[in-house]
Amino acid sequence: MEANLLRFILFTLVGLVLTSFNDHLHNASSHYQYCVLGAGPAGLQMGFFLSKAKRDYIILERNSGPGSFFNKYPRHRKLISINKIHTGRHNAEFNLRHDWNSLLSDKPDLLFKRVSGEFYPPADAFPLYLSAFERELGLKVKYGVDVGRIRLVRSATGRSYVLTDQHAADYSCSILLVATGLWVPQEVEFAGSHLAEGYESISTNPDDYKDQAVLILGKGNSAFETAQSILGRASRVHMLSSSTVRLAWQTHYVGDLRAVNNEVLDTYQLKSLDGLAEARLEDVVITKQENPESRDKLYLNLRQFKQNGDEGKGSDEPWVELPDYIDNFSLRKPYDRVIRCLGFRFNFSIFDSSARLPPSENAKGRLPGVTAWYEGKNTPGLFLLGTASHSRDYRSSAGGFVHGFRYTARAVHRVLEYRHHGNKWPSTRLMTTQLMSWILKRVGEASGPYQMFETLGDVILLRGPKSSFSSHCEYVEEFLLQALPRFSSLSGHDVSSQGLIVLVMQYGKRKIDNLGLGRSETDWTQAWKSNFLHPVLYYYDSLPTAQDMKTRPHGWPLPRPKAIHHMVEDFLTEWDTPLSHIQPLRRFLEHCVHSDLRAFSTENCFRSALTHRKPPLFCQQGYLAR
């Protein structure tokens, strides 16, 4: 009996010691130089760059696998990101212009087409691709870590960010890279808003809407995706938001309504029971009329139309008839369902006051505010990646989508490499006579400036005495245009007295009929009137200042330069014709570098050397230099 008691006491003590030891290990703080929060496409993209640079990092993900957002969204399981596999070209860089799903890596076959060949792929394919990306690159990801609190801690050795998970375990890091995306449903409060179903929880079975009248709040892609899925079953589908429909092919913003989702526009314009209306959602009043014999009916009213003007009444108040003078109110018929499809917002709640990110001034505050190099405002060392960083180019470029933020993630990594490791932004040294051919190569194939138009651009640093043998340039690819005044401190490259040229891809600023006659410009002498995507070169004799950026002309990506050159838009997006593209470009570059950039044969160079004191630069840096 005593022996059994002693054994019991011994086992209990050992168990307590082991439990205490395990708890200590579990709650101990792990320190890394870089913490990446989120294993979605942006987090894994940054993981690749950190892994390639052999940095000390960890990717923390709350779910059991990468890209968990795509396990649920979009709800109707079709992506609207283009997966154009067949381009007729074997140039990998060019093909990325039309591959909107693949991430950047040093493995040429690690592309999205491996998991889907469909032009608009199924959403289930994306987590499969991300899993392959993580596995084959050996990225350091820790799953099941649900970070609920982020705080900034200052000490004598510097500052660090501490992330606390659901088990009270801490992860500290010098640099925090937040790639959590947008996943909190956006809601608008109005009288009766609780009667609306959310996009995140609605049934995706069209038969559940059979012969029902449905009102959808919102006119974005999630709203139209939902409308399109039930068009063949619902008796009528109405859509309501404060703004009119913005079509992506008109605005050139891929976050606006895509053609793949716009079938309801046909049924609206061809008067087949469906329709679109506009009103401030904050002014909406939804009331419910219970019917014991059938489904309850939902009535929509607008606050200014309520006869009694009582804003304090609940949503279950009796239906109030509209005054006679508005008896043709568009949405006067009752609905069986009201569905909220207003998109998503950033999760600000996990940030302690010491690490609080301010909301952006655009996007209705749904996004965090960031600097031009994607560092959180007032949170040094905390950077935003992916969709969460989209406030910098909201509604103006593709930074909120995979085919855009894969490049901004690379730009952020280059900023970090110089700031913390002394590695300058990668550049290519070119002789001045090589510059034009390099520019033509970039505008014909580069995917970064093409996808992140007006946001990323190539910076050409002019070096050496003009018209001399030593004249050359440093070609810096895909710099952050809005951070141009901070170019030297972010890239590590100085700007000389010879100045710089910035190459940008941009759209025209005039409002046109995008499908009408005369929509494009073909005359190179009128290249500045180009409406569609085309290269623009800005020449500055000195680096623009922050004040210059603030006072730049409305709609311009950069301040007014000393000289500017538009390459006329090209239907084939190749910009390689001798008269319309190459010759005007050469004339512009000659103006900037004060040199003759024509190419000469060996015989002409030899004759020039005999008859001229100073042969053309092409000869100096070419045949005569050998």
For 25-48, what is the mean pLDDT? Answer: 88
**How long a stretch of residues is the chain?**
626
In this structure, is residue 124 part of a structural domain?
yes
Dihedrals φ, ψ of 565, to 5°?
Answer: -140, 125
Outline where 493-599 has alpha helix (H).
546-550, 583-593
**Is 418 exposed, middle or buried, given 0-12, 13-18 or 19+ CB atoms closer than 10 A?**
middle
Half-sphere exposure of 488 (CA within 13 A, CB side): 9
- Does 519 lie in the same domain as 376? no
In this structure, is residue 162 part of a structural domain?
yes
Query: 309 pLDDT band (50/70/90 cuts)?
Result: very low
What confidence score (pLDDT) does residue 9 get? 55
In this structure, is residue 613 part of a structural domain?
no
pLDDT above 90 (res 520) = yes
In this structure, is residue 323 part of a structural domain?
yes
pLDDT above 50 (res 20) = no
Tokens representing residue 624 in the block: 């005569």
pLDDT mean across residues, the chain: 91
pLDDT above 50 (res 307) = no
Residue that is written with structure tokens 């300058």 in the block: 424
The percent of residues in the chain predicted with pLDDT above 70, rounded, is 90
**Residue type for 59, please?**
I
User: pLDDT for 565-599, tens place per residue?
Assistant: 999 999 999 999 999 999 999 999 999 998 888 87
CATH of the domain at 393: 3.50.50.60
Examine the fold and report which residue of 417, 439, 464 is the final residue of a domain before the chain moves on. Answer: 417
Q: How far apart are CA 448 and CA 454, in angstroms?
A: 11
Of residues 531 and 306, which shows the higher confidence score?
Answer: 531
- Does 450 lie in the same domain as 395? no
Integer angstrom CA distances of residue 275 from 26, 204, 342, 582: 56, 21, 18, 50
Query: 612 pLDDT band (50/70/90 cuts)?
Result: confident
- Does 151 lie in the same domain as 72? yes
pLDDT above 80 (res 41) = yes
What confidence score (pLDDT) does residue 24 get? 40
pLDDT above 80 (res 59) = yes
What confidence score (pLDDT) does residue 620 get? 76
Examine the fold and report which residue of 417, 443, 469 is the final residue of a domain before the chain moves on. Answer: 417
Tokens representing residue 166 in the block: 């659901």
Domain that holds residue 549: 428-595
Q: What is the pTM of this model?
A: 0.90
Q: How far apart are CA 553 and CA 532, in angstroms?
A: 19
Residue that is written with structure tokens 């160079």 in the block: 605
- Does 201 lie in the same domain as 172? no
pLDDT above 50 (res 311) = no
- Does 153 lie in the same domain as 72? yes
Check if the beta carbon of residue 415 is closer than 8 Å to that of residue 64: no
User: pLDDT for 178-198, tens place per residue?
Assistant: 999 999 999 999 999 999 999
Tokens representing residue 175 in the block: 């640099």
In this structure, is residue 313 part of a structural domain?
no
Q: How far apart are CA 163 and CA 30, in angstroms?
A: 10
**Residue type for 167, please?**
H
3-state secondary structure of 181: coil
Helix or strand holding residue 30 (H, E): strand 30-37
- Does 129 lie in the same domain as 168? yes
In this structure, is residue 561 part of a structural domain?
yes
- Tally the domains of the chain: 3
What confidence score (pLDDT) does residue 2 get? 60
pLDDT above 80 (res 618) = no
- Does 119 lie in the same domain as 65? yes
- Does 198 lie in the same domain as 335? yes
Task: Kindly report which listed range (74-83, 446-455, 464-473) carries the lowest average pLDDT score.
Answer: 464-473
Examine the fold and report which residue of 417, 445, 470 is the final residue of a domain before the chain moves on. Answer: 417
- Does 230 lie in the same domain as 336? yes
Terminal alpha carbon distance of the chain: 100
- Does 561 lie in the same domain as 441? yes
- Ranges of beta strands (E only) in 404-551 are 427-431, 456-463, 472-480, 500-506, 534-540
3-state secondary structure of 421: helix
What confidence score (pLDDT) does residue 607 get? 75
Helix or strand holding residue 32 (H, E): strand 30-37
- Does 557 lie in the same domain as 467? yes
What confidence score (pLDDT) does residue 601 get? 74
In this structure, is residue 100 part of a structural domain?
yes
What confidence score (pLDDT) does residue 586 get? 96
Check if the beta carbon of residue 94 is closer than 8 Å to that of residue 126: no
User: Do β-strands 149-155 and 500-506 pair in parallel, antiparallel, or remain unpaired?
Assistant: unpaired
Smallest CA-to-CA distance from 138 within 44, 35, 32 is with 44
Check if the beta carbon of residue 30 is closer than 8 Å to that of residue 58: yes
For 375-379, what is the mean pLDDT? Answer: 94
Tokens representing residue 455 in the block: 């946001």
What confidence score (pLDDT) does residue 373 get? 98
Query: 315 pLDDT band (50/70/90 cuts)?
Result: very low
Smallest CA-to-CA distance from 381 within 152, 45, 52 is with 152
Check if the beta carbon of residue 32 is closer than 8 Å to that of residue 60: no
Query: 556 pLDDT band (50/70/90 cuts)?
Result: very high
Task: Kindly report which listed range (288-302, 385-399, 488-502, 596-610) carries the lowest average pLDDT score.
Answer: 596-610
pLDDT above 50 (res 622) = yes
What confidence score (pLDDT) does residue 128 get? 98
**Residue type for 214, please?**
V
Residue that is written with structure tokens 């900037």 in the block: 592
- Does 571 lie in the same domain as 468? yes
Check if the beta carbon of residue 251 is closer than 8 Å to that of residue 275: no
pLDDT above 80 (res 518) = yes
Q: Please tell me whether the peptide bond between 74 and the residue prior to it is cis, using omega within 30 degrees of 0.
A: yes
In this structure, is residue 178 part of a structural domain?
yes
